[in-house]
Amino acid sequence: MKDDALKLKVKQPPKTSAGVHAVTNALRHLYGKMGPIHATRGLLALNQKGGIDCQSCAWPDPEHRTINEFCENGAKALADEGTKKKIGADFFAEYSVSDLAAFDDYWLNGQGRLTEPLILREGGTHYEPISWEDAIRMVAGKLNSLASADEAVFYTSGRTSNEAAFLYQLFVRQFGTNNLPDCSNMCHESTSVALAESIGLGKATIRLEDFEKTDLVIVVGQNPGTNSPRMLSSLAAAKAAGAKMIAINPLKEVGLTSFVDPNPQHGNVFGVLGLSPAKLADLHLPVRIGGDMAVIKGLMKILLEREQLSRGSVLDQEFITANTVGFDEMAASLDAVEMSDILASSGLSREQLDTAAQMILDARSFITCWAMGVTQHTDAVATIQDIVNLHLLRGAIGRAGAGLCPVRGHSNVQGDRTMGIWEKMTPVFRENLEREFGFAAPSKDGLNTVESIAAMAEGRAKVFFAMGGNFAAASPDTDAVSAALANCDLTVQVITKLNRTALTPGKTSIILPCLGRSEIDIQAGGEQFVSTESTMLNVQMSKGIFEPISEHLRSETWIVCTLAYAVLGGRSTVDWAAMAADYDMIRDAISRVVPGCENYNERIREEGGFYMPNPPRARRFPTAAGKALFTASPLSTVELPPGRLMLTTIRSHDQFNTTIYGLDDRYRGIDGHRRVIFLNRGDIEKYGLKPGQNVDITSHFEGVERHVSGFSVVPYEIPADCAAAYFPEANPLIPLGSVAKRSCTPTSKCVIISVQASKG
Ligand SMILES: Nc1nc2c(c(=O)[nH]1)N[C@H]1C(S)=C(S)[C@@H](COP(=O)(O)OP(=O)(O)OC[C@H]3O[C@@H](n4cnc5c(=O)[nH]c(N)nc54)[C@H](O)[C@@H]3O)O[C@H]1N2
Ligand SMILES: Nc1nc2c(c(=O)[nH]1)N[C@H]1C(S)=C(S)[C@@H](COP(=O)(O)OP(=O)(O)OC[C@H]3O[C@@H](n4cnc5c(=O)[nH]c(N)nc54)[C@H](O)[C@@H]3O)O[C@H]1N2
Ligand SMILES: [Mo]
């Protein structure tokens, strides 16, 4: 650990994002891992109509695509999946599970693709090959031996295709449980809960073209330069068309301030040859971690004050009267909040809020984008509902250039939920599913991610099955989740790469290696394609172009069908073999079950695919009241006891969640090291620390302490009392019991910590 720290170099963060560096970095990853021919073919197919839907994020593709419609991090994701390196029986004979567990995530990922099914037998020390037949038979046997279907948990990560996701939830429900936790539980669940209640749909209300029609974009708690780089093109296009931009973020992220389009084909909007930097944010509000609700309430309070001074100048009264309920209660709840509390909680000045409020008043239409900086907080649901309130005040929803834009993470996390991956079900979905397949779906809600961990720890759940993802590393409270997995009789993962979860196994552990999205999928019925839904509700096909890296890989869809048949046999009404042979059969079923997917097979073949229904976009709000809902909530502030800091956990520029591509974070000036803690210079001094010093971090929650060690102090422009460290290295600090109200999302962005000089 110490040696590692010596490799850390801290530089001045760059002044612009993307640009030529992004291109050279993308090419280094691609050519290095895939070779020139593969790399070029892959890039030409990425995000093209009929090509591969990029694995890296859920940002939609523009209507008119250039031939290089990808970004640096999309290229890294493609290279990571398309790597020529692979690991098989020899590798696993050489390294025991405990040998492998001693390596870091960067090394594990770097070993290459999994190539054959593997089993770690009870009491065994090494994974060893197993045939598909035996692996499936073992999993089915174990599932069928359980006293109740609720003793199994079926996790999904957001890369799974619509087709695989639909069949997976069908299998799980026919098996008899709703235990379908997913990565969304840790991600945008707060958004889904908030928006479903406030506007009747838990998704974005805008489309890509709205960026060119808007006057103002507000980006809250999101780092698009790293996590949805193609969004920078939309932000730059908005700016080029005259829009303003506000960034609300404790960090001054480079991607939010300035952008050089690496793709000259995007036209001249960014200046000569597309190489002069576009200034993005006009106003940066360096909010204290967790202070976003205060910011939004502050803005609304100022708007209502202005309205009182000059009636009709602020509120869109016509919209409010015709389309909303609850205005009076919301306004009264704002009256009860003191501006001094808002300023203290946000860490901002009245002037800063006035400037932002004026920018909103000057804008006829505005878009608000948000991501994890908002959703992973105790009061995330109420904060997102305040964002909705702000839009409703101005009627800034359901018209050109105005609306809500939660930016989803995984490339198909939204589609998976549309396809029924959820521990709950809407009445319509249940009714359609039961009718289509002639069975009674389980009536009790299932377990979400955090509840699943508790169930495994207590022995109520005995089998953990994962369709993708890296549950052990992505979940909060790493030690608790590892112990919970170890308590299972069987853990099974359908994955592409070796990961931490495979190394924190249950008593028996099975790895089922699957095709990646970039690989050709041939089934009995010929070559197949799949489909995904972007964060703006566009459903599109995705088709692999590379020969699979091993002949022993199977598609996720095939794995679900084969397992379902082995488990359910004659109990199931589904023709699993036919579904596995021809994915059109799956899409036909989807078209009859999922509202908005009618004629799926026809419409998915149209150029650019189709859009899911979006009633709020047309100012129809299918809520209980039939109108958009103003919601009232008190100002919530997290109290920070003396001697404590508020830690947020963030992604570097060189990772995709728990997949670590490299040890640098170019946009924040970090080189060669991930165990760093970003601290305000004043706090470094206050706690008697020094830049570069080795420290241990302790989190404090309900009297329990959790620890990590060997972190290096990095001075950074971050508000006082705030700190940031990378996910997943900081996950052992995140208390399992600390979750957002109503969405149960782990509060990964507000962990109360103290920092101590390292003892070692
Ligand atoms: N290359 C790449 N792309 C990705 C991913 C990846 O790991 N790598 N992950 C994908 C996934 S699953 C997701 S969900 C998205 C995540 O995308 P983001 O939400 O952008 O990811 P985070 O790094 O968690 O960043 C959150 C941002 O919120 C800020 N922040 C932290 N705390 C607060 C706060 O209290 N208030 C405010 N206002 N801001 C705060 C941080 O400074 C940071 O800029 O990206 C997706 N795309
Ligand atoms: N502290 C902290 N914790 C967090 C977050 C945070 O911001 N801070 N963010 C949370 C968020 S937003 C999310 S979405 C979760 C992410 O949680 P997950 O989705 O569970 O994690 P990933 O790291 O995306 O999963 C990576 C694994 O997926 C497998 N994989 C890759 N491609 C495929 C494929 O095509 N098919 C299949 N079957 N498997 C594949 C690979 O083996 C790889 O190891 O983490 C959450 N955890
Ligand atoms: Mo996510």
Q: Residue by residue, what is the 3-state secondary structure of 330-357? A: HHHHHHCCCHHHHHHHHCCCHHHHHHHH
Do 384 and 432 fall within a single domain?
no
Do 173 and 201 fall within a single domain?
no
Do 697 and 751 fall within a single domain?
yes
Nearest CA, atom 37, ligand 2? 468
What is the tens place of the pLDDT at every residue in 607-650? 999 999 999 999 999 999 999 999 999 999 888 999 999 999 99
Closest to 112 measured CA to CA, from 652, 657, 550: 550
In a domain, 587, yes or no: yes
Q: Say yes or no to pLDDT of 267 above 70.
A: no
In a domain, 620, yes or no: no
Burial-class residue 360 by CB neighbours within 10 Å (0-12, 13-18, 19+): buried
Q: Is the CB of 253 under 6 A from ligand 1?
A: yes
Distance of alpha carbon 402 from alpha carbon 43, whole angstroms: 33
- The closest ligand to the CA of 250 turns out to be 1
Do 70 and 115 fall within a single domain?
no
Domain residues for the domain of 691 are 645-757
Distance 281 CA to ligand 2 centre (A): 30
Distance 647 CA to ligand 1 centre (A): 14
Pocket residues for ligand 2 (CB within 6 Å)? Answer: 157-159, 183, 186-187, 372, 376, 409-410, 467-471, 474, 494-497, 499, 514, 516-517, 556, 649, 657-659, 727, 730-731, 734, 748
pTM of the model: 0.96
Calculate ∠ Cα 56-60-61, nearest 5°. 100
Do 398 and 302 fall within a single domain?
yes
Peptide bond just before 264 cis, omega within 30 deg: no
In a domain, 473, yes or no: yes
Residue 220, both tokens: 């809250």
Cβ-count burial 263-290 (b if 16+ within 10 Å, e if not) = beebeebbeeebeebbebbbbbbbbbbb
Which of 71, 410, 648 has most ligand 1 atoms within 8 Å of its beta carbon, as the pocket-test mutant? 648
In a domain, 668, yes or no: yes
Q: Is the CB of 751 under 6 A from ligand 1?
A: no
Question: Is the separation of the CB atoms in 568 and 174 below 8 Å?
Answer: yes
Mean of the pLDDT values across residues 515-519? 96
Distance 391 CA to ligand 2 centre (A): 32
Do 229 and 343 fall within a single domain?
yes
Would you state the pLDDT for residue 271? 36
Nearest CA, atom 8, ligand 1? 656
In a domain, 547, yes or no: no
CATH code: domain of residue 489: 3.40.50.740
Contacts (Cβ under 8 Å, ≥6 apart) of 639? none
Do 217 and 117 fall within a single domain?
no
Do 398 and 438 fall within a single domain?
no
What is the tens place of the pLDDT at every residue in 475-503? 999 999 999 999 999 999 999 999 999 99
What is the tens place of the pLDDT at every residue in 464-476? 999 999 999 999 9
Closest to 712 measured CA to CA, from 695, 727, 725: 695
Three-state SS letters, 239-254: HHCCCEEEEECCCCCH
Would you state the pLDDT for residue 276? 58
Mean of the pLDDT values across residues 310-317? 96
Q: Say yes or no to pLDDT of 136 above 90.
A: yes
Query: Which atom of ligand 2 is found nearest the CA of 375?
Result: 12
Question: Could you identify the residue written with the tokens 């209300």?
Answer: 205
Mean of the pLDDT values across residues 404-419? 97
Would you state the pLDDT for residue 654? 95
Q: Is the CB of 249 under 6 A from ligand 1?
A: yes
- The closest ligand to the CA of 159 turns out to be 2
Domain count, the chain: 4
Would you state the pLDDT for residue 501? 98
What is the tens place of the pLDDT at every residue in 270-281? 333 344 577 899
CATH code: domain of residue 752: 2.40.40.20
Give the total residue count for the chain: 760
Contacts (Cβ under 8 Å, ≥6 apart) of 308? none
In a domain, 611, yes or no: no
Mean of the pLDDT values across residues 680-702? 97
What is the tens place of the pLDDT at every residue in 48-77? 877 888 888 889 888 777 666 678 888 889
Confidence of residue 6 (pLDDT cuts 50, 70, 90): low
What is the tens place of the pLDDT at every residue in 381-406? 999 999 999 999 999 999 999 999 99
- The closest ligand to the CA of 80 turns out to be 2
Query: Which atom of ligand 1 is found nearest the CA of 73?
Result: 1
Cβ-count burial 76-91 (b if 16+ within 10 Å, e if not) = bbbbbbbbeeebbeeb
Confidence of residue 269 (pLDDT cuts 50, 70, 90): very low
Query: Which atom of ligand 2 is found nearest the CA of 728?
Result: 1
Alpha-carbon separation of residue 160 from 47, 132, 172 (angstroms): 17, 20, 15
CATH code: domain of residue 353: 3.40.228.10
Q: Say yes or no to pLDDT of 760 above 70.
A: no
- The closest ligand to the CA of 383 turns out to be 1
Distance 473 CA to ligand 2 centre (A): 8
Distance 469 CA to ligand 2 centre (A): 4
Q: Is the CB of 384 under 6 A from ligand 1?
A: no
Do 658 and 748 fall within a single domain?
yes
Do 224 and 334 fall within a single domain?
yes
In a domain, 203, yes or no: yes
Distance of alpha carbon 220 from alpha carbon 366, whole angstroms: 13
Q: Is the CB of 250 under 6 A from ligand 1?
A: yes
Query: Which atom of ligand 1 is found nearest the CA of 413?
Result: 12
Mean of the pLDDT values across residues 244-248? 97
Confidence of residue 35 (pLDDT cuts 50, 70, 90): confident
Do 462 and 576 fall within a single domain?
yes
Would you state the pLDDT for residue 4? 58
Q: Which of 604, 632, 664 is the last residue of a domain?
A: 604
Do 215 and 339 fall within a single domain?
yes
Q: Which of 406, 434, 452 is the last residue of a domain?
A: 406
Percent of the chain exceeding pLDDT 90 equals 85
Would you state the pLDDT for residue 20? 72
Q: Say yes or no to pLDDT of 1 above 70.
A: no
What is the tens place of the pLDDT at every residue in 325-378? 999 999 999 999 999 999 999 999 999 999 999 999 999 999 999 999 999 999
Question: Is the separation of the CB atoms in 659 and 105 below 8 Å?
Answer: yes
Which of 192, 650, 668 has most ligand 1 atoms within 8 Å of its beta carbon, as the pocket-test mutant? 650
In a domain, 4, yes or no: no
Query: Which atom of ligand 1 is found nearest the CA of 750?
Result: 35
